[in-house]
Amino acid sequence: MASKTGSTPATYSPSPATHKKKRIPIADVDWVRPDSRGFYQCRPAYLRTGAVSPAAGSAYAEFGNTKVIVSVFGPRESKKAMMYSDTGRLNCDVSYTTFATPNRGQGSDKKELSSMLHKALEGAIILESFPKTCVDVFALVLESGGSDLPVVISCASLALADAGILLYDLVASVSVSCVGKNLVIDPVSEEESYNDGSLMITCMPSRNQVTQLIVDGEWSTPKIHDAMELCLGACSKLGEVMRSCLKDVVTDLKE
């Protein structure tokens, strides 16, 4: 590339004045979230196990407008004949319905979400308990209303518990968005679309272990500390809600 070295290297920015976006005045102290929640307030969660009867275990979760359904099949013979393995395999698949998003069929990248779900769950499952077999986790996002992946992960761990798969602990997941100077927990789609950074934690609350952590955007170290603390607090609360959901089913059965 001899031709370009002749010119003085100028920074490439053809149009510097591009800050005309219809951005919400975030600098305002009294900026209100689209659904008028507090910054550190999660959306109301509705969780239910046993949503799909043919599956070994299933769960339905509704966090505000985000609605997902997860079913778990197995442990069963692996469809793809692979090598012998003395631990079980976990197969995860996340898909969006075509009507899940405002624009038809514009869900997030399926492959990416599936691999994230796999990574978040594999650390919590006792894979040694079902050698040579495979557990399939299918998640379907019925309506995407923001924080889809954390809801899918929490719901999937509930479905695994419902299927009787041995787990070290339930996996709870919460995300935080950084909007301007503020941290907002459990962001909705609108907040996600203009955030300056997001952080998602999946953890096992009673073991106090983080199975997966994803950060993007720009963060200073103290901010990461704050965000992680906020998420871990919310995760342990969500863990309790999930636990009580599982207990409710049992008490209902007894009655």
User: Which residue's CB is nearer to other proteins, number 55 or number 156?
Assistant: 156
Q: Return the range that interacts with other proteins (CB under 8 A); candidates 4-12, 29-37, 142-150, 237-245.
A: 4-12
Identify residue 148 by its one-letter amino acid code: D
Contact in structure between 131 and 77 (CB atoms under 8 Å): no
**Going residue by residue from 140 to 179, which x/- string records binding to other proteins, judged by CB under 8 A?**
----------------------------x---------x-
Interface residue with other proteins, options 193, 206, 247, 248 (CB under 8 A) = 193
Residue 76 binds to other proteins (criterion: CB under 8 A): no
The reply to whether 210 sits near other proteins by the rule CB under 8 A is yes
Helix (H) or strand (E) holding 121: helix 110-122
Supply 77's token pair. 């013979």
How many residues interact with other proteins (rule CB under 8 A)? 53
In sequence order, what are the residues at sequence separation of 6 or more whose Cβ sits closer than 8 angstroms to the Cβ of residue 245? Answer: 47, 48, 49, 158
Residue at 42: amino acid letter? C
3-state DSSP call for residue 190? helix
- Among positions 32, 216, 244, 248, the unique one binding other proteins when judged by CB under 8 A: 216
Q: Any idea how long the chain is? A: 255
Does 1 help bind other proteins (rule: CB under 8 A)? yes
Q: How far apart are CA 217 and CA 191, in angstroms?
A: 14
Q: What residues are paired with 125 via a beta bridge? A: 167
Of 13, 36, 53, 251, which one interacts with other proteins (CB under 8 A)? 13
Residue 94 to residue 141: CA distance in whole angstroms: 8
Token pair of 87, please? 């631990």
21 contributes a contact to other proteins by CB under 8 A = yes
Q: Is 14 in the site for other proteins (CB under 8 A)?
A: yes
- Closer residue to other proteins (CB): 66 or 202: 202
The tokens describing 132, both together, are 């040579």
For position 51 contacting other proteins by CB under 8 A, the verdict is: no
Residues that bind other proteins (CB under 8 A): 1, 3-5, 7, 9-15, 18-21, 111-112, 115, 119, 122-124, 168, 178, 192-198, 203-204, 207-221, 224-225, 228, 232
